[in-house]
Amino acid sequence: MLETQVEELLQDLKPSPPNYLISDMCFPWTTKVSKRINIPRIVFHGICSFSLLCLHNLRDGKLLESISSDTEYFSVLGLPEKVEVIKAQLKALVDPSNAECREFGDRMKEAEDQAYGILVNSFEELEPESVQGVKMAKGKKVWTISPVSLCNKERLDKVKRGNKASINEHHCLNYLDSREPDSVLFVCLGSLSRLPKSQMIKLALGLESSKRPFIWVVRHISDEFRKWLNEENFEERVQKQGILIHGWAPQVLILSHHLIGGFLTHWRWNSSLEGISVGVPMITWPLFAEQFCNERLIVNVLKTGVKARMENAVMFLEEEKVGAQVNKDDIKMVIERVMGGEE
């Protein structure tokens, strides 16, 4: 629906049309626009090279078509390290049984094949073998352009990155400044993610029982979980241990603070990069999309994070069907493994 408008916009730019068009992988129609105004198109991938290579090999090798079980682990070939996944974790991305998914994937691949080059939201020093693997697999120019969060160097820049924060930055900083170095766990499962009430309760109790200081961003919560928080007086109960941020958090500001000692994250790549960029060890809690592939990079390849034992994808509007996957004791144990040991 935007194709005609984008083309008109590009042609009307003064003093001359652009030299290149950079567009997201999910906009294959921009290939036709770039051809009509005679400029090269460059594809942008918001995920890391490792996950990009993983998905490329799964799709081109048609591996999922030969896997009958949704819950049995299998190896993904052609990666720098041995990596195992289950079909249920990837079906939303590479699902040969879904005609609509397959057709859109074919359109994206065709558009990428015709592109001049590829931009990847990663940096080569992090995953050099995967970057080379993507270059070989795609057969075209590949540039890595991250981590872009490091452009925000001043405190005010970090506060204003993204949406308006739901908490005063001074409150956050005062809380952090009262703690010991590397002692605070930052918990944020992203701006889109949702968990069932039962899992939110187990996460709350796991954080409390860990006795570790924490900042927990609870951006999307159900009425039932809000009711539980009130009935249990949870925030009052843990006020000496941690704070809850209801809404948008100044994540870059918090993660870059020297008292943060761990990051429990959903493993969408922007959040992952922000944690990696400041050298914080991770607890991985993948939910959907390519997040399970990202988890394998950090846990199996880089070895700078620990799994929270999420095994099944949690899709939009299907959270309650999945239910709780990680219990309170497992959460407490993985927090201690990241925050309390030599590993």
Q: What percent of the chain has pLDDT over 70?
A: 90
Give the pLDDT confidence score for residue 161 in this predicted structure.
Answer: 56
pLDDT tier, 90 (very low <50, low <70, confident <90, very high otherwise): confident
Give the pLDDT confidence score for residue 228 in this predicted structure.
Answer: 94
Q: Tell me the average pLDDT of the chain.
A: 86
Please, what is the Cα angle at 246 between 188 and 231, to 5 degrees?
110
**Mean pLDDT value across residues 89-98:** 70
Give the pLDDT confidence score for residue 162 in this predicted structure.
Answer: 56
Give the pLDDT confidence score for residue 316 in this predicted structure.
Answer: 65
117-120 sheet: strands from edge to edge: 21-24, 41-45, 117-120, 141-144
- Is the confidence at residue 21, as pLDDT, over 90? yes
Please, what is the Cα angle at 266 between 104 and 331, to 5 degrees?
145
- Is the confidence at residue 306, as pLDDT, over 90? yes
Whole-model pTM: value is: 0.86
**Mean pLDDT value across residues 90-103:** 73
- Is the confidence at residue 183, as pLDDT, over 60? yes
- Is the confidence at residue 300, as pLDDT, over 80? yes
pLDDT tier, 14 (very low <50, low <70, confident <90, very high otherwise): confident
Give the pLDDT confidence score for residue 50 in this predicted structure.
Answer: 92
pLDDT tier, 260 (very low <50, low <70, confident <90, very high otherwise): very high
- Is the confidence at residue 315, as pLDDT, over 80? no
Of 121-130, 219-228, 304-313, give the range with the top mean pLDDT: 121-130
Give the pLDDT confidence score for residue 334 in this predicted structure.
Answer: 94
Distances 328 to 210, 245, 302, 331 between C-alpha atoms, Å: 9, 21, 27, 5
Give tens-digit pLDDT for 120-175. 999 999 999 999 999 999 999 999 998 887 776 665 555 555 555 555 566 777 88
Which residue type, as a one-letter code, is found at position 21? L
Between 142 and 343, name the one with better pLDDT.
142
**Mean pLDDT value across residues 202-215:** 95
**Mean pLDDT value across residues 93-108:** 78
Give tens-digit pLDDT for 51-85. 999 888 887 766 777 777 777 888 887 887 888 88
Give the pLDDT confidence score for residue 215 in this predicted structure.
Answer: 94
Q: Which of 118, 115, 106, 111 is nearest to 62 (CA)?
A: 106
* Other CB atoms within 10 A of residue 264 CB: 26
Rounded distance, CA 283 to CA 150, Å? Answer: 22
Give the pLDDT confidence score for residue 95 in this predicted structure.
Answer: 65
Report the chain's terminal Cα–Cα distance, integer Å.
51
- Is the confidence at residue 341, as pLDDT, over 80? no
The contacts of residue 102 (CB under 8 Å, 6+ apart) are 95, 96
Rounded distance, CA 238 to CA 310, Å? Answer: 25
Question: Would you say 189 and 317 are in contact if contact means Cβ atoms under 8 Å apart?
Answer: no
- Is the confidence at residue 115, as pLDDT, over 90? yes
Q: What percent of the chain has pLDDT over 90?
A: 49
